[in-house]
């Protein structure tokens, strides 16, 4: 019988700002798939791609506030510390070097991100470094290589790597695992729009994060020209 490996999952995003949709998703994934660690990984955004008036460091500080008192979810700031453009493949290469070949690493994402994976830097390498765990709506299926709108090379690669949840602790890398899960209907875009129009996003994100946003006057037109 295969031994259970140490399992580390990563949940990447801009978290601009972090909200309850992200936090529930990460926690439910950890609980459902039994990961030993679940790390939230804020991506670094070069200044020209940042929300006006909100730095990468501030996005990460909001995430740290959201995770206060929550031992189940960890913050991994490596992409911010590295700076420059953020490529998932570089992060996974770095983690592999750090953790060795035996630890199971899973990179988690939504199914919308999966369909555009062929635009990611060195995307063919991703499954050589980690598993991909894709959160889907109930009933969602991976498109076939001939289906309209899908990238044939990507679909062939994904079809050939499709696996099950047990792969995540029996193998260190290489499986695509689809996981059906309901998502809370919250988006960071909506939160930014509410703030920008002077309305409250209360109850969509942790109160500590909202307090930080108010204290630093983030996502409002008033500071849009005063980027730090
Ligand atoms: P934006 O509205 O700015 O595009 P977002 O809320 O979609 O932001 P990101 O930080 O870009 O958030 O996403 C990080 C990850 O969180 C992605 O994998 C995305 O699929 C997932 N995600 C986003 N919103 C939700 C949600 N409501 N429930 C669960 N997962 C979510």
Q: Which atom of ligand 1 is nearest to the CA of 109?
A: 18
| Residue 68 token pair | 């206060």
- In angstroms, what CA-CA distances link 147 with 15, 142, 155, 195? 32, 10, 9, 40
Per-residue model confidence (pLDDT) at position 226: 38
Strands (DSSP E) found in the chain: 7-13, 37-42, 74-75, 104-110, 131-136, 176-180
Per-residue model confidence (pLDDT) at position 82: 87
Residue 147 burial (10 A CB sphere; 0-12, 13-18, 19+): exposed
Contact 130, 117 (CB under 8 A): no
How far is the C-alpha of 54 from the C-alpha of 76, rounded, in Å? Answer: 19
Residue nearest atom 16 in ligand 1 by C-alpha distance: 22
Select from 78, 139, 74, 131 the least CA-distant residue to 108: 131
The Å distance, Cα 135 to ligand 1 centre, comes to: 11
Q: What is the pLDDT of residues 8-39, one digit of tens each?
A: 999 999 999 999 999 999 999 999 999 999 99
Local confidence band at 228 (pLDDT 50, 70, 90 cut-offs): very low
Per-residue model confidence (pLDDT) at position 51: 77
Q: What is the pLDDT of residues 82-92, one digit of tens each?
A: 888 889 999 99
Q: What is the pLDDT of residues 107-132, one digit of tens each?
A: 999 888 888 899 999 999 999 999 99
Per-residue model confidence (pLDDT) at position 150: 82
Q: What is the pLDDT of residues 38-65, one digit of tens each?
A: 999 999 877 777 777 799 999 999 999 9
The Å distance, Cα 155 to ligand 1 centre, comes to: 23
The Å distance, Cα 1 to ligand 1 centre, comes to: 37
Local confidence band at 223 (pLDDT 50, 70, 90 cut-offs): very low
Residue 221 pLDDT exceeds 70 = no
The Å distance, Cα 3 to ligand 1 centre, comes to: 34
Residue 170 pLDDT exceeds 50 = yes
Q: Which atom of ligand 1 is nearest to the CA of 186?
A: 27
Upper half-sphere CA count for residue 66 (Cβ side, 13 Å): 30
- Best-predicted range by mean pLDDT among 138-142, 196-200, 219-223? 196-200
Residue 225 pLDDT exceeds 90 = no
Q: What is the mean pLDDT of residues 220-226?
A: 54
Residue 171 pLDDT exceeds 60 = yes
Residues with CB under 6 Å of ligand 1 are 13-16, 21-22, 25, 109-110, 113, 183-184, 186-189
Task: Quickly tell me which residue has 């076939």 as its tokens.
Answer: 144
Pocket mutation for ligand 1, best pick of 13, 113, 135, 204 (most atoms within 8 Å of C-beta)? 13
Alpha carbon 53 to its chain centroid, in Å, reads 22
The Å distance, Cα 100 to ligand 1 centre, comes to: 29
Select from 182, 195, 215, 186 the least CA-distant residue to 18: 186
Task: Quickly tell me which residue has 């019988």 as its tokens.
Answer: 1
Strands (DSSP E) found in 14-154: 37-42, 74-75, 104-110, 131-136
Q: pTM of this prediction?
A: 0.91
The runs of H, that is alpha helices, within the chain are: 20-33, 56-67, 78-82, 88-99, 111-114, 126-129, 152-161, 167-170, 188-196, 207-215
């Amino acid at each position: 019988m295969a031994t259970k490996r140490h399992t580390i999952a990563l949940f990447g995003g801009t978290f601009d700002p972090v909200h309850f949709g992200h936090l529930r998703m990460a926690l439910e994934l950890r609980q459902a798939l039994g990961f030993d660690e679940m790390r939230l990984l804020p991506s670094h955004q070069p200044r020209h791609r940042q929300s006006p008036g909100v730095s990468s460091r501030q996005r990460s500080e909001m995430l740290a506030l959201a995770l206060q008192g929550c031992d189940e979810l960890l913050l991994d700031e490596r992409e911010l510390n590295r700076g420059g453009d953020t490529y998932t493949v570089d992060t996974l290469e770095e983690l592999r070097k750090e953790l060795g070949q035996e630890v199971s690493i899973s990179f988690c994402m939504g199914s919308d991100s999966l369909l555009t994976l062929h635009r990611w830097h060195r995307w063919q390498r991703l499954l050589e470094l980690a598993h991909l765990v894709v959160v889907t709506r109930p009933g969602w299926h991976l498109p076939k290589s001939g289906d309209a709108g899908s990238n044939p090379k990507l679909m062939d690669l994904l079809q050939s790597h499709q696996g099950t949840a047990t792969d995540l602790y029996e193998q260190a890398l290489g499986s695509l695992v689809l996981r059906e899960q309901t998502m809370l209907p919250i988006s960071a875009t909506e939160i930014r729009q509410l703030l920008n129009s002077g309305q409250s996003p209360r109850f969509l994100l942790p109160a500590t994060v909202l307090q930080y946003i108010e204290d630093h006057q983030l996502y409002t037109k008033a500071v849009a020209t005063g980027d730090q």
